[in-house]
Amino acid sequence: MARRTEAQRIEQANEEAALVFFREALSSLPDPRRAQGIRYPLVSVVVIALMAMVCGSDDAEAMEAWGEANAQWLDGILELPHSTPTQDVFLSVFATLDPVAFRSVFLSWMELLRLRLRVVGKHIAIDGKTSRRSFDSATDKLAIHTVSAWLSDEGLVLGQIKTADKSNEITAIPELLRVLDLRGATVTIDAMGCQTEIAKTIVGGEGHYLLAVKENQPALYKDLAATFSEVDDERVRSVDERARPLVEVFAETDKGHGRVETRSIELCRDLGWMMTAERWASLGFVVKVTRERTVLATKKTSTETAYYIGSDTELDARSAAHRIRRHWSIENELHWVLDVGFREDEARHRARNLAENLTTLRHFALNLFKRDPNRKLGVANSRRRAGWDHGYLLHVLTSEAG
């Protein structure tokens, strides 16, 4: 009996800790509803939505069902004068809630967490994701496209912003970067984000960039190809010719999934062969990556070349190779998990601010799981466990990263 009493005491302490945090975090969130006729406090609606999302509820209908199933417990920890909210309440609140204000709550929480993570030297990957089922054929509205910032070292979402379509990543990325703490971090972006203004924004935020370069930047791409062509040219040069550029080289080989891949990374700090170098803020080096893949079953080999530009003058070839490879963790560890663990690709909500706010809610829930140092299950099964066990749900809501 004493053991049960102690467990109850711990659970109550966790409830109080979670509520204190959420009340403080949501206190500045403006309520979009008219004061007359409000039946559910905004904090209660948002906290129940987050709890339900953690417990496997992917839409407003499921949030209502989860709330009903846990009404007695929730009534003991939240202000619920009219029982738990209906799906119409969830839809109405998140459709009208200011997404920028809601995102700022998420970012404030992440900033508190990052104080313990030491951002200096960390890697932030930026990439976009389309929720394909959000396309509305009746009105010809494009599918929702979201650009996210991913702290790859810790596996945490730092923030996100919705764009009208994929082409608007160019304008959305600087807006996202400006609300992030970039100090000392390396930001990687694919070729869509290889823009002079984006590079300038990262440097202005005291961060470093490492940007993929493709032929959407033809002059820059030509410069990089010419530079590394000179690297490969081993002819003896006359005294009045520019010396052959020097490079740092790092190579690594992986075997798996029925193939062998060898990657050779050449990092060059000699920018004298480039005509476009001055256009890129604090450009410090350029990189050529050569990937050679051999399919073991067929013995066929293919070769691929990619170019990058970077600003961190202290980054060496090995570190650049690591950052380039880790960039794609945003696909494998964020986008894939959101689709498989949270069924985001199936989400059809798009009325007003609904899609953007539910994306923030998913990211919030995902980060709660990611920061739990004792989690042994995958995200999908961890969500199920949280739905079965109030103690574990509170643990997820209040646990500290290890």
pLDDT over 90 (residue 116): no
User: Given pLDDT bands bounded at 50, 70 and 90, which one contains residue 165?
Assistant: low
- From 23-27, 41-45, 70-74, the region with the lowest mean pLDDT: 23-27
Instruction: Determine the Cα–Cα distance for residues 149 and 114; give it in Å rounded to an integer.
Output: 14
pLDDT at res. 340: 81
pLDDT over 50 (residue 268): yes
pLDDT over 50 (residue 1): no
Average pLDDT on 28-54 reads 88
pLDDT over 80 (residue 132): no
pLDDT at res. 27: 75
pLDDT at res. 70: 94
- From 50-59, 236-245, 372-381, 390-399, the region with the lowest mean pLDDT: 236-245
Residue 282's identity, in one-letter code, is: S
- pTM (2 d.p.): 0.83
Residues 188/202, Cβ–Cβ less than 8 Å: no
pLDDT tens figures, 170-229 = 888 999 999 888 999 999 999 999 999 999 999 999 999 999 999 999 999 999 999 999
| 38 token code pair | 């409000």
pLDDT tens figures, 334-344 = 888 888 888 77
Indicate the SS3 state at residue 293. Answer: strand
Residues 200/279, Cβ–Cβ less than 8 Å: no
pLDDT at res. 264: 95
| 53 token code pair | 């999302």
Question: Hey, which of 42-46, 277-281, 371-375 has the most confident mean pLDDT?
Answer: 277-281
Average pLDDT on 281-308 reads 94
Average pLDDT, the chain: 85
Q: Of 351, 396, 348, which Cα lies nearest the Cα of 375? A: 396
User: Given pLDDT bands bounded at 50, 70 and 90, which one contains residue 8?
Assistant: low
Please report which helix (H) or strand (E) contains residue 213, including its range.
strand 208-213
- Top pLDDT among 158 and 166 is at 158
pLDDT at res. 347: 67
- From 87-91, 289-293, 309-313, 349-353, the region with the lowest mean pLDDT: 349-353
Question: Hey, which of 75-79, 81-85, 375-379, 394-398 has the most confident mean pLDDT?
Answer: 81-85
CB atoms within 10 A of CB 85: 24
Q: Of 257, 260, 259, 277, which Cα lies nearest the Cα of 268? A: 277
Domain segments of the chain: what residues?
2-97+372-398, 104-185
User: Given pLDDT bands bounded at 50, 70 and 90, which one contains residue 140?
Assistant: low
Average pLDDT on 41-66 reads 93
- Top pLDDT among 204 and 29 is at 204
Phi, psi of 36 (to 5 degrees): -70, 125
- From 50-64, 232-246, 255-269, the region with the lowest mean pLDDT: 232-246
- Top pLDDT among 133 and 70 is at 70
Instruction: Determine the Cα–Cα distance for residues 329 and 95; give it in Å rounded to an integer.
Output: 31
Question: Hey, which of 136-150, 203-217, 371-385 has the most confident mean pLDDT?
Answer: 203-217
Indicate the SS3 state at residue 308. Answer: strand
Indicate the SS3 state at residue 103. Answer: helix
pLDDT over 60 (residue 101): yes
CB atoms within 10 A of CB 257: 9
pLDDT at res. 113: 57
Residue count of the chain? 402
Residues 58/384, Cβ–Cβ less than 8 Å: no
Residues 150/188, Cβ–Cβ less than 8 Å: no
pLDDT over 50 (residue 402): no
One DSSP character per residue, 109-162 reads HHHHHHTTT--TT-EEEEEEEEEGGG-BTTTTBPPEEEEEEEETTTTEEEEEEE
- Top pLDDT among 258 and 317 is at 317
User: Given pLDDT bands bounded at 50, 70 and 90, which one contains residue 256?
Assistant: confident
Average pLDDT on 294-307 reads 92
pLDDT at res. 120: 59
Long-range contacts, stretch 212-217, CB < 8 angstroms, 24+ apart: 212/188, 212/306, 212/307, 212/308, 213/307, 213/308, 213/309, 214/307, 216/191, 216/192, 217/191
